[in-house]
Amino acid sequence: MTVRLAIVADIHHGIPSATKRGDAAMGLMEDFTRYVRDADVSHVLDLGDRISDVDHDTDLRLEAEVAEAFRAVEKPIWHLNGNHDRDFLSVEENEQILGQSLGHETHDLGGWRIVLWRADTRIRRTAERSGFVLREADLLWLSRTVQAADRPLLVVSHVPVSGHSQVGNYYFQNNPSNATYPMAERARAALAQARVPVVCLAGHVHWNTVTTVDGIPHLTQQSLTESFTTEGAPAGAMGVIELGETVRWEVAGRDPYRAEITPTARRWTPVLPDFRAHPELRARHIKAES
């Protein structure tokens, strides 16, 4: 039995900001409602960043407007918080607006387990650095959930953990530390503990990508309102992922994308350390120089 889920990411409702066309968000949400109606899906995934943050009162209003737009969607919705949803609003305020808990959850659908890994997405800003914090409690929950899995996993988060290249990304080529969590390698190590197939799905980075790490495919979906890949027009990205023995993912809009993946429980050979730190390779290097 296959499972089909609709996906929307990084709505960014609000005034236009850099290449984010937040002014188009509400109209595109009407399009998304029709898309879900026609897509033959059981559930909807909202990957977070529903707004472009301004201040506390404005963000409360913007989040409420997005929540109202989601009420027209005729399928159950699982929401995640993005960093913009958390700049001025608490998790509890988002929960109240959306009418659901925003803690970690798992849901079994068909032969798959949907893992909503709602790790902390608030960006901490200090004089020294700006970025996410991967909390130990979030990492431990992920590790224990993966270790206990008895069926294939779709692990859903706002922030990707693949560590994939951001070359060419308008936002993150020169700011790669803001594209993922510090110590993301620990999250990847937690995922590698799985004895079942794993697929990861995230938003945040505003482009469609598939990156395979340690036999695990990591997908990121384009933002609903991003325009840096679409010559200034909002991408209107809306996706469906179909989970079965084969995983099919298709994104509609001005930045279309399609991928077909056969997930596996096989993991790769552990990576080499720095050549200079490896006793055998270091010895060969010294011998070659002498």
Other CB atoms within 10 A of residue 250 CB:
16
- pLDDT at position 127 is 72
96-122 pLDDT, tens digit each? 999 999 999 999 999 999 999 999 999
pLDDT tens per residue, range 159-206: 999 999 999 999 999 999 999 999 999 999 999 999 999 999 999 999
User: Is the pLDDT confidence value at 282 over 90?
Assistant: no
Domains of the chain: 3-289 (3.60.21.10)
What are the φ/ψ torsions at residue 191 (nearest 5 degrees)?
-65, -35
Q: What pLDDT was estimated at residue 217?
A: 98
Please, how many CA atoms are within 13 Å of residue 125, restricted to the half-sphere of its CB? 4
DSSP string, 14-69: SS-BTTB-GGGHHHHHHHHHHHHHHS--SEEEE-S--B----HHHHHHHHHHHHHH
pLDDT score for 128: 74
Q: Which two tokens stand for residue 258?
A: 């399609």
For residue 138, the model assigns a pLDDT of: 98
Radius of gyration of the chain (CA): 20
CA dihedral 172, 216, 153, 248 (to 10 degrees): 80
**What angle separates helix 56-70 from helix 25-38, to the nearest 10 degrees?**
30
Identify the pLDDT of residue 125. 86
Per-residue confidence band for 280, with pLDDT thresholds at 50, 70 and 90 = confident
Nearest to 33 by CA among 65, 77, 78, 72: 72
Give the per-residue pLDDT at 157.
98
Task: Please give the structure tokens belonging to residue 17.
Answer: 């900001």
CA separation for the pair 116, 137 (Å, rounded): 15
